[in-house]
Amino acid sequence: MDVVGVVPLFCRSKCHKNFKMKRNPRKVKWTKAYRRVHRKDMTQDSTFEFERKQNRPERYDRNLAENVLKAIPKIEKIRFTREERHHKNRMKGKKEKIQKEAAKELEQGIRLVKSPLALQKDPSLTLPQKIKVSVSQRQSEDNNAMEQ
C-alpha cells in the first residue's frame, strides 16, 4: 500500500477500520491472510487459478470455449477431492482430542455420576416420568369452544 495516489479498496467497513488501526492481517484470525499463513484454507491450490479474472480480452474461439466447458466438471471434481483431503488432514487428531477431553471431564466429575443401581434403589435421583392422560373428545371440544 505504499504506492502514492492509490486508494485502497475494502470489502466492508470492518476491514477499513482494522486497516486504519494498523492491525496486521496475518494476526487477525478472520482474514484471508491469516488463513493462508496458518494453512486453514486451500488458497495456494492450482485449481483456483482457473477462476481468476483476466482483464485482457481474448478472441472468441469455439473449440477453446468447448474445451473449457468440458473441463469445468473435471476441475470441480479435483477441487472437491482436494478440499475433502485437506479437511480430513486438518481434522485428523480431533476425534482423539474430544475423547481425551471427555475422559478427563468424566474423571474430574465422577462424583456427580450416579450408578444405575443407585438410581433403581432411590427414585428421587431420577427425573419424573411424564404421564400421559387420555382426554375424552367431548372435553377437548369444550376447551376449544372456551378458547374462542
3-25 per-position pLDDT tens digit: 677 888 899 999 999 999 999 99
Q: Is the pLDDT reported for residue 147 higher than 80?
A: no
Alpha carbon distance 108, 102 (integer Å): 10
What is the residue extent of each domain of the chain? 12-41, 44-52+61-90
- Which residue type occupies 48? F
Instruction: Please classify residue 74 by burial: count the beta carbons closer than 10 Å to its beta carbon, then call 0-12 exposed, 13-18 middle and 19+ buried.
Output: exposed
Q: Is the pLDDT reported for residue 57 higher than 80?
A: yes
Q: What is the pLDDT of residue 139?
A: 65
Mean pLDDT, rounded, of the chain: 84
Task: List the grid coordinates of 8.
Answer: 485502497
- Whole-structure pTM value: 0.51
DSSP the chain: --STTPPP--SSHHHHHHHHTT--TTTSTTSHHHHHHTT-S-TT-GGGGGT----S-----HHHHHHHHHHHHHHHHHHHHHHHHHHHHHTTTHHHHHHHHHHHHHHHTGGGPPPHHHHHH-GGGSPPPP------HHHHHHHHHHH-
Q: Is the pLDDT reported for residue 1 higher than 60?
A: no
